[in-house]
Amino acid sequence: DVVLSQSPRSLPVTPGEPASISCRSSQRLLHSNGHNYLDWYLQKPGQPPQLLIYLGSTRASGVPDRFSASGSGTYFTLRITRVEPEDVGVYYCMQGLQTPWTFGQGTKVEI
Amino acid sequence: QAHLVQSGPEVKKPGASVKISCRAFGYPFKSYVLSWVRQAPGQGLEWMGWISPYNGNTNYARRFQGRVTLTTDTSTTTVNMELRTLTSDDTAVYYCARGVIVASPYHYMDVWAKGTTVTVSS
């Protein structure tokens, strides 16, 4: 199975400051069609996960532009330019290239 | 507005089966797949499998094969997830999520239900 390793596991943040989370994959997630099959989800406390980013770097509908993502192959990064209080929660990367799809362990972002 | 509604919480004894329903509203049911993801208490997310309401095709995570079955009822826009031979390790919140197909079988999950809590205890 593809193993995704996120770092850091815990990220204290200050509102207005930037934040960054990395996700490293045990296998390349670049499909032959040129897309990376790597998504980012945020699970706010007491809520189901919500999609932030798909195909490595495409922001989902309604996601603020302070969220961005980059990377290819085995290394990916999610960035928040200026953290807002509503951004707290656990962030997960997930790969959809090879079944079983797998998630990273999560990064808990707290203020 | 697209949304998914799951059935209510369940309490089961070890060895029993559970069946959770996920009803879709507000979008063309056959145009998207439905994935299932679970989360044990205090733990991360675990993908279980998906089903296509269009043709009934399924894809299960290897660790659940033989124990999980996804079915779809297009007349009620409902997908059912049955998990058999439950153990305490199956205690979790189970989520269904709508999958937007980009290039089969890859899809990203853009609409999530609130989840169904399943407790397995003797």
DSSP string, A4-70: EEEE-SEEE--TTS-EEEEEEESS--B-TTS-B-EEEEEE-TTS-EEEEEETTTEEPTT--TTEEEE
Q: Do B109 and A104 touch (CB under 8 A)?
A: no
At B35, which amino acid appears?
S
Q: What is the pLDDT along chain A (111 residues), one digit of tens a residue?
A: 999 999 999 999 999 999 999 999 999 999 999 999 999 999 999 999 999 999 999 999 999 999 999 999 999 999 999 999 999 999 999 999 999 999 999 999 999
Structure confidence at residue B74 (pLDDT): 94
Task: Render pLDDT for B59-110 as a digit per residue (tens, 0 to 9).
Answer: 999 999 899 999 999 999 999 999 999 999 999 999 999 999 988 778 999 9
- Cross-strand partners of A40: A53, A93
Q: Do B63 and A60 touch (CB under 8 A)?
A: no
State the smallest CA–CA distance between residue B104 and chain A in angstroms. 10
Task: Render pLDDT for B24-57 as a digit per residue (tens, 0 to 9).
Answer: 999 999 999 999 999 999 999 999 999 999 999 9
Chain centre to alpha carbon of residue B31: 17
